[in-house]
Amino acid sequence: MRSLIFVRAICVVILAIATFIPLGTIFRWVLIAIAAVVFIVAEVIIEIGVRRRVGTIFLWILITVVVGGFIVTSAMNEWETKKGLEELNQQSVVMKEELKVTKEELEVTNEIVDDLRKKVFQDVAEQVMEAPKEVTPIPTSEPSIKMQIKSPQGGSIVPWRPYVRGTVADPDAEVWVIVRPVDTSAYWVQPSATVSNDGTWITQVYLGRAGDIDVGKQFEIMAVGNPSDVFSEADILGGWPAAQWSSQVVEVTRGWK
């Protein structure tokens, strides 16, 4: 009878394991059912007091069933876990492939957009550089510390397409850069700036025409934040646009690059 009491204890442990260890739902209930049946049978044997030999034989049968059920359940749970991991790996591979394709498509799209933008600016550059001279200089807005150009510095020699960098007080602000060839009346809207969360912004501008025809000429650069009027890239304005914030005017000289 002590052996049967030991079997009951084992069944209680198995029930506790099935209850608290995270197994698959189906396998958890299979294990609980097996342990419960064995526990009930052991209780019946103890109550009716069958002969020791029959009880011992039946005891070993019960132990075999419990151990076998536990092994089978564990194996099935491991198989289910392995299958789940394989499915996750397959999904991960598929997602990586989709991201790769999306990235390649995005790169191609960006290249097409850049080529179109370059063509538009080159077409407009001739009109900008040949614009009539400005008879009366148009006054600039009062520079604000909330909008500043950090690079290039005034008096710098820069290439045809330099990067213009700066800061703005509001990361959500709409930032545009305007370029004016000195002595002309053309105020040329450049590609809109990309603004980071820390308020820094950057854009690549066009200073005149490609080649060396405009080398040595001077250009004024101003950045504006949240302009009052709506305009687009490559637009030619009649003056510095009104805006919530305006930067200082930076004058640079076109170099050979």
> In sequence order, what DSSP letters do the residues of 192-228 get, joined into one string?
PPEE-TTSEEEEE---S-SSSTTTT-EEEEEEEEEES
What are the b/e assignments for 46-85, b being 16+ CB within 10 Å?
eeeeeeeeebeeebeebeeebeebbeebeebbeeeeeeee
Q: Which runs of consecutive H residues, i.e. helices, occur in 130-191?
A: none
Model's pTM, two decimal places? 0.61
Q: What is the pLDDT of residues 33-82, one digit of tens each?
A: 666 666 666 666 655 655 555 556 566 566 666 666 666 666 666 667 77
* pLDDT value at residue 133: 86
Confidence grade of residue 227 (pLDDT, cut at 50, 70, 90): very high
Joined together, the tokens standing for residue 48 give 């009716």
Q: What is the pLDDT of residues 173-211, one digit of tens each?
A: 999 999 999 989 999 999 999 999 999 999 999 999 999
What lies within 8 Å, CB to CB, of 11 at 6+ separation is 35, 36, 38, 39, 42, 66
Q: Which residue, chain included where needed, has tokens 């305007």?
A: 178
* pLDDT value at residue 195: 97
Query: Which amino acid is residue 254, in one-letter code?
Result: R
Q: What is the mean pLDDT of residues 234-254?
A: 95
115 versus 170: which is more confidently predicted? Answer: 170
Report the topology of domain 147-254.
Answer: Immunoglobulin-like (2.60.40)
* pLDDT value at residue 31: 65
Confidence grade of residue 3 (pLDDT, cut at 50, 70, 90): low
